[in-house]
């Protein structure tokens, strides 16, 4: 049922059937139950070069084709795919993966930090996302925030605690506009409890909730937006941190 609104973004329609449905355009190859979505392309490339991955599908778009791989972690099969930057692409990718048969997801990527004391590489477990993007409003009725699945949060925390890996459980800010992270908006989001800013979490949480699949996300501290000047902190070159995080997510995926 469509709810009329002055603003199109708030016209939520609860009908889960659309004119184009992913299940009608996606082939369903045999896939593992769980899948890791990572934005660390170099980690996937190294695993591919090492012969650790088997391609089982492809997510196609006009500009980028994302191979869907299968790998083995401690004897368990797990899906592995590169992420599509931004909420819209991430939502479409997740829809296709769900239609392919995956039922559980762990997402890992970087995020800008809004607190100076979050070091590069420190893990952040987002339990809620401020919905400052557009995609989530097409999947879940309007609200200021959307929560991550509590079951996924508990599973991730259990493993992080068991492995004695330090982390922060906090709120994140999802935005579509990387060049509109103004000082006033940053201050507002910090006052709401956000410690990171990224471009996908709210969309991932919304699609997962709408499609009734299990999804959790781990962010790692990247560039710093907390000061007067932006600090890149060379976060995209921390290859060992990124490789270790992908392996950690593969482990978590096998225990979801």
How far apart are alpha carbons 117 and 224 in whole angstroms?
Answer: 10
Q: What is the pLDDT along the chain (256 residues), one digit of tens a residue?
A: 788 888 999 999 999 999 999 988 888 889 999 999 999 999 999 999 999 999 999 998 888 899 999 999 999 999 999 999 999 999 999 999 999 999 999 999 999 889 878 777 789 999 999 999 999 999 999 999 999 999 999 999 999 999 998 899 999 999 999 999 999 999 999 999 999 999 999 999 999 999 999 999 999 885 554 544 444 445 444 577 888 899 999 999 999 9
Beta bridge partners of 36: 80, 106
Contacts of 151 (CB under 8 A, 6+ apart): 214
Grouping H, G, I as helix, E, B as strand and the rest as coil, residue 186 is helix
State pTM to two decimals. Answer: 0.93
What are the residues whose beta carbons fall under 8 Å from the beta carbon of 182, sequence distance 6 or more? none
| Spatial distance between the Cα atoms of 114 and 116, rounded to a whole number of angstroms | 7
How much is the pLDDT for 138?
A: 97
> Domains in the chain and their CATH numbers?
29-255 (3.40.50.1580)
CA dihedral 232, 234, 235, 239 (to 10 degrees): 170
Could you report the per-residue pLDDT of 148-170, keeping only the tens digit for each? 999 999 999 999 999 998 899 99
């Amino acid at each position: 049922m469509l709810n009329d609104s002055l603003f199109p973004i708030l016209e939520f329609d609860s009908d889960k059937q659309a004119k184009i449905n992913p299940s009608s355009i996606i082939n369903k190859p045999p896939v593992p139950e769980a899948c890791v979505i990572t934005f660390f392309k170099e980690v996937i490339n190294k695993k591919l070069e090492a012969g650790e991955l088997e391609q089982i599908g492809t997510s196609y778009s006009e500009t980028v084709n994302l191979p869907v791989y299968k790998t083995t972690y401690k004897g368990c099969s797990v899906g592995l795919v590169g992420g599509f930057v931004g909420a819209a692409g991430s939502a479409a990718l997740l829809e296709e993966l769900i239609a392919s048969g995956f039922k559980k997801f762990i997402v890992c990527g970087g995020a800008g930090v809004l607190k100076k004391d979050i070091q590069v590489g420190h893990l952040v477990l987002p339990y809620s996302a401020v919905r400052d993007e557009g995609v989530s409003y097409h999947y879940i009725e309007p609200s200021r925030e959307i929560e991550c699945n509590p079951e996924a949060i508990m599973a991730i925390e259990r493993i992080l605690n068991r492995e004695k890996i330090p982390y922060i459980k906090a709120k994140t800010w999802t935005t579509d506009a990387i060049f509109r992270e103004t000082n006033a908006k940053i201050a507002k989001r910090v006052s709401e409890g956000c410690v990171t800013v990224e471009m996908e979490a709210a969309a991932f949480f919304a699609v997962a909730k709408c499609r009734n699949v299990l999804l959790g996300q781990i962010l790692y501290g990247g560039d710093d937006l907390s000061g007067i000047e932006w600090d890149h902190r060379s976060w995209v070159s921390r290859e060992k941190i990124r490789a270790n995080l992908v392996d950690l997510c593969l482990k978590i995926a096998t225990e979801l």
